[in-house]
Amino acid sequence: MDAFIAETPFFTTEQRNLSISVAGFVGREIETRSVEEEQEGQETDASFRAYLKVLAEADLLRYAIAAPGGRIDVRSLCLIREALSYASPLADLAFVMQGLGTYPLSLAAPEHLRDFWLARASQGQAIAAFALTEEEAGSDVAGIKTTARLEGDAYIIDGSKRFISNAGLADFYTVFARTGTREDGRAELSAFVVGARMPGFSVRSRTEMLASHPIGEIEFKGCRVPAEDMIGREGDGFRLAMQTLDTFRASVGAAACGMAGRALDEAITYAKKRRQFGRALSEHQLIQEKLADMMTELDAARLLVYRAAYLKDAGVARVTREASEAKLFATEAAWRIVDSALQIHGGAGLVRGSRVERLYRDVRALRIYEGTSEIQKLVIASQLLQE
């Protein structure tokens, strides 16, 4: 068992056993596919679907998809994300997007809508997406311009979204649209489930990113969505979006820890076998200093992540600050750890397709999505000033 999990008080026996079984699963099913993906240059969509299939067969998707009312074991979610991202950030994406895309449904969707999509998502039969970001509305969610107007027994959605993970792959999208304007002039947001085959919905383009990631822009042109497919009530959209992001925020830090842990292991292995000036790199004090800093930052990041997850599971009313601290520190620390691992590898770390080179590209997005590091600092400060 991972010494950190064995030695810290955050985990139940069931969660410790889960970490062992997931580690075995990742070694058997994810690591081998990740290596093949690197060697053969497999197409991203095909790899994504393959990962989703094995996750469903192992019954792991249920840990990402909340029970009705939004009940989810955040520590288990984090443990699985950390293990998956250690081997394949793309497998981690396949796992967590099923949760992000369905969480608002578990919170507030009508029973018929919730049960239909959650059952299919948990079995890997339907791919979920979370459609919030727009060209003029990233961190500023209230700046959303996509509109939804009630017309008879349906809402007509017009607008577009960008940087939507699973665009073009998803079978359904949780879409946030403007249904009115509040007294302060900000958007009144509502949430809807939009099926990928609905008339008026289209994938405008797929976006090539720094790392392998199925993502793109989607568009709505007079897309008619039955009123019964609204999630919650009119005006609930902002609350649902924030509850979703608050719940999953610490798990972004867990994914960062997985990547950082892999980078550290790769650096240690390389430093032991690479010789310079007549001795192994690991015998040079400057390399030892780097490894010590990397290990310390990784331990600190994991402590923050699992503290936030533990508090959420314990039912603490508000863990916004703790989750933001975890996301901020873990993603920034992971970036530094991966960078140090690449530095230890020297020129070998720059070779396209090498493990540390891939980590260098994969880890960068974590400091941006689900709230940039700058936004996390504002959130933390805001919470402090309210205490």
pLDDT band at 34 (very low <50, low <70, confident <90, very high): confident
Weakest-pLDDT range from 33-47, 102-116, 257-271: 33-47
3-state secondary structure the chain: CCHHHHHCCCCCHHHHHHHHHHHHHHHHHHHHHHHHHHHHCCCHHHHHHHHHHHHHHCCCHHHCCCECCCECCHHHHHHHHHHHHHHCHHHHHHHHHHHHHHHHHHHHCCHHHHHHHHHHHHCCCCCEEEECCECCECCCHHHCCCEEEEECCEEEEEEEEEEEECCCCCCEEEEEEEEEECCCCCEEEEEEEEECCCCCEEEEEECCCCCCCCEEEEEEEEEEEEHHHEECCCCCHHHHHHHHHHHHHHHHHHHHHHHHHHHHHHHHHHHHHCEECCEEHHHCHHHHHHHHHHHHHHHHHHHHHHHHHHHHHCCCCCCHHHHHHHHHHHHHHHHHHHHHHHHHHHHHHHCCCCHHHHHHHHHHHHHCCCCCHHHHHHHHHHHHHHC
Could you list the residue range(s) of the whole structural domain that residue 109 is in? 3-122
d(CA 236, CA 230): 10
pLDDT band at 76 (very low <50, low <70, confident <90, very high): very high
pLDDT band at 39 (very low <50, low <70, confident <90, very high): low
d(CA 193, CA 115): 13
Last residue of a domain, one of 69, 99, 122: 122
Regarding whether 94 and 224 lie in a shared domain, the answer is no
For residues 186-207, average pLDDT: 95
Last residue of a domain, one of 190, 219, 234: 234
Weakest-pLDDT range from 116-130, 175-189, 234-248, 303-317: 175-189
Regarding whether 202 and 303 lie in a shared domain, the answer is no
Regarding whether 68 and 186 lie in a shared domain, the answer is no
Kindly report the backbone phi and psi dihedral angles of residue 222, in degrees, each rounded to the nearest multiple of 5, phi listed first. 60, 35
d(CA 301, CA 363): 14
pTM value? 0.94
Q: What percent of the chain is modeled with pLDDT above 90?
A: 86
Regarding whether 252 and 205 lie in a shared domain, the answer is no
Count of domains observed in the chain? 3
pLDDT band at 249 (very low <50, low <70, confident <90, very high): very high
For residues 277-283, average pLDDT: 93
Last residue of a domain, one of 197, 214, 234: 234
d(CA 294, CA 261): 9
Active site amino acids:
370
Mean pLDDT over all residues of the chain? 94
d(CA 213, CA 45): 9
Regarding whether 373 and 244 lie in a shared domain, the answer is yes
For residues 18-35, average pLDDT: 93
| In the predicted structure, residue 248 carries a pLDDT above the cut 60 | yes
pLDDT band at 9 (very low <50, low <70, confident <90, very high): very high
Regarding whether 138 and 27 lie in a shared domain, the answer is no
Check: CB of residue 118 under 8 Å from CB of residue 106.
yes
- For the range 181-185, what are the long-range contacts, defined as Cβ-Cβ under 8 Å and sequence gap of 24 or more? none
CATH of the domain at 20: 1.10.540.10
d(CA 51, CA 80): 14
Regarding whether 166 and 70 lie in a shared domain, the answer is no
Q: What is the CA radius of gyration of the chain?
A: 21
For residues 98-111, average pLDDT: 97
d(CA 257, CA 366): 11
Regarding whether 369 and 266 lie in a shared domain, the answer is yes
CATH of the domain at 244: 1.20.140.10
Regarding whether 253 and 367 lie in a shared domain, the answer is yes
pLDDT band at 38 (very low <50, low <70, confident <90, very high): low
| In the predicted structure, residue 41 carries a pLDDT above the cut 60 | no
CATH of the domain at 206: 2.40.110.10
d(CA 247, CA 312): 8
Regarding whether 254 and 193 lie in a shared domain, the answer is no
Regarding whether 116 and 84 lie in a shared domain, the answer is yes
| In the predicted structure, residue 32 carries a pLDDT above the cut 90 | no
Q: How far is CA 158 from CA 35, 180, 206, 219, 253, in A?
A: 42, 14, 19, 8, 34
pLDDT at res. 42: 59
How many Cα atoms sit within 13 Å of 28 on the Cβ side?
Answer: 9
Regarding whether 346 and 251 lie in a shared domain, the answer is yes
